[in-house]
Each structure stands twice: as C-alpha cells, then as structure tokens.
Amino acid sequence: MSGVAGSAQGVATTIAIIGGGFSGALTAVGLLRGARASTLRVVLIDNGPGFGRGLAYRTAHPELLLNVPAGNMSAFPDRPGDFVEYLERLDARLNAGSFVPRTVYGDYLEHTLAQAERMCPDVLTRYRGQAVALHLEQEPRRYRIEFEDGQILHAQRVVLATGHFAPDVPQCFSSDVAHRILQPWDFDAIDALNPAAPVAVMGMGHTGIDTLLRLVRLSSERKVFMFSRRGLVPHTHRPNPRLPVKVGYPERFASLPPTIRAYAKSLRDCVAQRVARGEDWRDALNELRPHTSTLWRSLPPAERARFLRTLLPYWDIHRHRLAPVIGQRLQYLLKAGHVERIAGAVRNAHEEDGMLHVALGTRPFGAIRPLTVSAVINCTGPNYDLAKVCSPLLSQLFHARQIRRDTLRLGLDVDDRYRVIDANGHPADNLFYVGPMLRAMYWEAIAVPELRQHAAALADQLVQDLASAVRSGI
C-alpha cells in the first residue's frame, strides 16, 4: 500500500483515518459527503471485525440497549431525524422515544457508511490491520503508517480516531491474582466462567450493568456481587422521554466565579425550582448539556481536578442514565437477590482452592466484607492515560513526544482545529484526533450527540483545507 503526494495537478490527497468505529466512520462519511472525489482518497483503518460498529455497537445481544432515545441518535447534526427514519423503515412502532438494541444502531452506522460510499464511489478504501507506528517524512512531506504485518501506507493527513481502551488492573490486586481480573469486553473469558460460581463486578456504571446482564443471561442461578466505592447506580430515563429543548447559554452561570462549588449550587437550585413547579429534573440537565463544554473550559485546572475528585460519581449517575427497561431489570435482579449491591473498596485479595477471595472495606464505617468469587470483572471505566493505554500506535507516538496527555490524564491535548499537541506544546502538522479522549478539552465527548458534532466539524475543516490547497496550487 502507498499513498501519493497531493498536488493541484489532479493527484489525490490521501487522508488516513486510524480507527473505524463511530468517530472514524463518521469522519469518513463527512469527507465523502463534502469533498470532490477527484482530489481525495480516504483510507479507513481498523483492526476489528467490522467498520462503523466500533466497540460499543459490536454486540449481537438484543437485550443491550442504547442509553439515549432514538431521537437524539442521528449520525448527522444537520439531519436530526435520520436514525428515526431508518428505524421507521424497519418497524413502524419505533419512534423518537424508543430505546433500541445497540446492534441495531451498529447496523445503522454500517448502512450510513455504505450509503456515503455509494454516493462517492472509488474514494474510500477499507483497510483491516493494526497500525503500530506513525512517522512524518519530509521529502515528500507525508506520514508513513506502519502496520503490524509489515505493510506501509503513506498519507498527507492522518486522523487518529481511536476509541475506548480497557481499564488497567487496579493496584489493589497483586500480580498473583491478575489473571482473575477480567476485562468487560473479554467475552470469551466471561462466557467461560463456571455458571454456578459467584462473580464480582467492580464498577456500577453502564459497562458494569451491561456485564451484569450478560452474566445473568448466561446463568440465571449465578450470584453476582456489584461493588463500587459509593455504591451508586445510574438513574433511568423517564418512559417516553421528550427531546431536549434548545436554549441559550444559561445566564445564571455568566456572573458566577468559575468554581465547581458555584456551578454545582446553581444547578441544584435550578433543579429544585423546576421540581417545585412539577417539572422533571432531567430536563435541567438535558438543556445544560450543549453548554457543558463551555463550562468545563471555563474552569481552571484545579477546579476541574476538584470536580473529578468530589462530584464526578454523582454527575455520572444523573447525566448518563439507563434505558427505562434496563433500570427495571436491574431493580428486579436486586430485589430477587440475584445481584447484591455493595458500597466498598478492595482491601486485599488472594487465590485459594481455585477461587478468588476478596476483602472489601465497606462504607460508611469500613467493616470488612469477604467475597468468594470465580473472578472480578473490572468495569471501572475506560483508560485514557496515554502512558498506559494498550495501543502500540499511541504508545509509540507518546514516547516519541508527538502527542501528549493532558494534566488530568483524561485524554490527549488538541487545539481548536483538532490538531494534536506535541510534548513541546506545538500543534502537529496535519495530524488530528477525534474520539472520546477529546473529553480532556471538551468534557462532553464520549456520547453520540457530541461525537457526531466533533466528527462533522473535523471533516468540514479537512474538506475546506483540501479546497484551499487546490486553489493555492499546493
């Protein structure tokens, strides 16, 4: 494989997108929709089983539902009804308030990519492989992408569109028991667990609840312990939710000092007022959502750190809600005793007689709660620390000082044009990033409603850059 240098003499510019999940696929779609086919070649690179589905929508299990109603899941910011129209062609009973299986959304993303490919043929190349290194060559000026199998691709512009990375094994577990700590996406290992033996799920967010549903589907007799430091589980969406009302930037924040204390008090007061009027608290958060990035960027680093340290778990359970039927299923499992919810943290763990023995220090008083399980499934959340992610490519770029992590280790630093920032604080030459590690800069960057905007904005920018280069004869 090789790319060719772009020029004004009809030779196409190659844009390589490394990562074929939601962000990468939608960036490719935006390029196909906007660019002149004669000036562009797009190579979409992924090491997974399918393009467009990514990790989140790869599942084939219909009981795993989207946690956002269909009306807010269009792939396009400028066509908000696109996903609902797709669903209505499948089943007239589905509507904007439906919570549909994730596998259906994966089908929709594959359909969207294929449709854009048909409208702009011979531009997109899908390449399955593991990119392991990226180097900037000077003559001609282009990137060389090296793959695990020895193949090489050249491209004038590169978009890193890597998604979520598996969480680290927590330090509370020694290396002696690390083999008993499973990743939530290691389905083969989870499915191979003894169906009669108890299992512990560490973390009670969406990934933890997805894992719980998989475990009980495999064995209805299995006891599952779910634990986290505070023992909090997400709230649910209301049945038949309405789409958020678009409102301007809330004036109540304009005069406040940029502190978490001031912002949190203002939001609590707003929620209390709405509830007093008989309204739903969820609407206050829904209307704030488009402005959350502005609030995040207004906070000094110390205030951002304070939010992560003190309020993040409470924000997450209100902001990232469960589909109503999933919430009902969770409550049934808890009441029936199939699942036990514990607020606590691991003090120590050891292996004995083929089982893992875990000692939890429980809240609020620290009493030790022993658990005997076949495994602990680590659902503490994705790892975004560039020094620790299990990505050969990002590791190479990080150690080569071509990218840098943000101070809070939420992701990687980019500028306002999505160009990655190197270790010296300089924006890279034609190397971009789009994906959940944008949360370092924007906070709201892990869900479809925000990621689709970032993907569209980056694609539009690249299209404009290409058009400008052609006009300039570059």
Distance in Å from the first CA to the final CA of the chain: 24
User: What digits encode the pLDDT tens for the residues 387-425?
Assistant: 888 899 999 999 999 999 999 999 999 999 999 999 999
* C-alpha span between 134 and 396 (Å, rounded): 8
Cα 43 vs. chain centroid, distance in angstroms?
22
Sorted by sequence, the CB contacts under 8 Å of residue 340 that are 6+ apart come out as 223, 224, 225, 226, 334
Report the sign of the C-alpha dihedral through residues 291, 296, 299, 305, in that order.
positive
Cα 2 vs. chain centroid, distance in angstroms?
31
N residues, the chain: 474
What SS3 state is found at 373? Answer: strand
Report the sign of the C-alpha dihedral through residues 282, 283, 284, 287, in that order.
positive
Residue 205 phi/psi, 5-degree rounding, is: -80, -160
User: What digits encode the pLDDT tens for the residues 74-114?
Assistant: 999 999 999 999 999 999 999 999 999 999 999 999 999 99
What SS3 state is found at 91? Answer: coil
Beta strands in 111-179 (DSSP E): 124-128, 131-137, 142-147, 152-155, 157-160
Give the DSSP per-residue string, 270-294.
HHHHHHHTT--HHHHHHHHGGGHHH
Pick the closest to residue 285 from 245, 239, 333 (CA basis): 245
Look at residue 5 in the predicted model and tell me its pLDDT.
35
Beta strands in 311-442 (DSSP E): 339-352, 355-362, 368-373, 376-378, 419-421, 427-433
Pick the closest to residue 215 from 187, 183, 179, 235 (CA basis): 187
The pTM score is 0.92
* C-alpha span between 362 and 355 (Å, rounded): 21
Pick the closest to residue 17 from 388, 445, 435, 444 (CA basis): 435
Look at residue 2 in the predicted model and tell me its pLDDT.
46
- Distances, alpha carbon 141 to alpha carbons 205, 234, 366, 378, 429, in Å: 45, 49, 60, 43, 10
Residue 41, Cβ neighbours under 10 Å: how many? 22
* C-alpha span between 423 and 452 (Å, rounded): 28
- Distances, alpha carbon 192 to alpha carbons 176, 189, 277, 333, 350, in Å: 20, 5, 52, 22, 21
Q: Which one-letter amino acid corresponds to residue 142? A: R
Q: Which one-letter amino acid corresponds to residue 468? A: S
Pick the closest to residue 236 from 327, 312, 316 (CA basis): 327
In order along its 474 residues, the chain shows pLDDT tens digits of: 544 333 333 468 999 999 999 999 999 999 999 877 678 999 999 998 789 888 888 887 888 899 999 999 999 999 999 999 999 999 999 999 999 999 999 999 999 999 999 999 999 999 999 999 999 998 888 999 999 999 999 999 999 999 888 888 888 999 999 999 999 989 899 999 999 999 999 999 999 999 999 999 888 889 999 999 999 999 999 987 777 778 888 888 988 999 999 999 999 999 999 999 999 999 999 999 999 999 999 999 999 999 999 999 999 999 999 999 999 999 999 999 999 999 999 999 999 999 999 999 999 888 999 999 999 999 999 999 998 888 999 999 999 999 999 999 999 999 999 999 999 999 998 999 999 999 999 999 999 999 999 999 999 999 998 888 777 665
Angle subtended by helix axes 312-319 and 301-310, to nearest 10: 70
Domain covering 175-235+327-378, topology: FAD/NAD(P)-binding domain (3.50.50)
The residues of the chain that CATH labels 3.50.50.60 are 13-64+101-165+384-472, 175-235+327-378
Cβ-based burial of 368 (10 A; exposed 0-12, middle 13-18, buried ≥19):
exposed
User: CATH number of 13-64+101-165+384-472: 3.40.50.150, 3.30.1370.10, 3.40.190.10, 3.50.50.60?
Assistant: 3.50.50.60
Look at residue 10 in the predicted model and tell me its pLDDT.
46
- Distances, alpha carbon 214 to alpha carbons 36, 185, 218, 317, in Å: 45, 11, 6, 21
Cβ-based burial of 130 (10 A; exposed 0-12, middle 13-18, buried ≥19):
middle
What are the start-end ranges of the H helices in 73-101? Answer: 82-90
Q: Which two tokens mark 295?
A: 């609030």
Beta strands in 310-426 (DSSP E): 339-352, 355-362, 368-373, 376-378, 419-421
Residue 274 phi/psi, 5-degree rounding, is: -70, -40
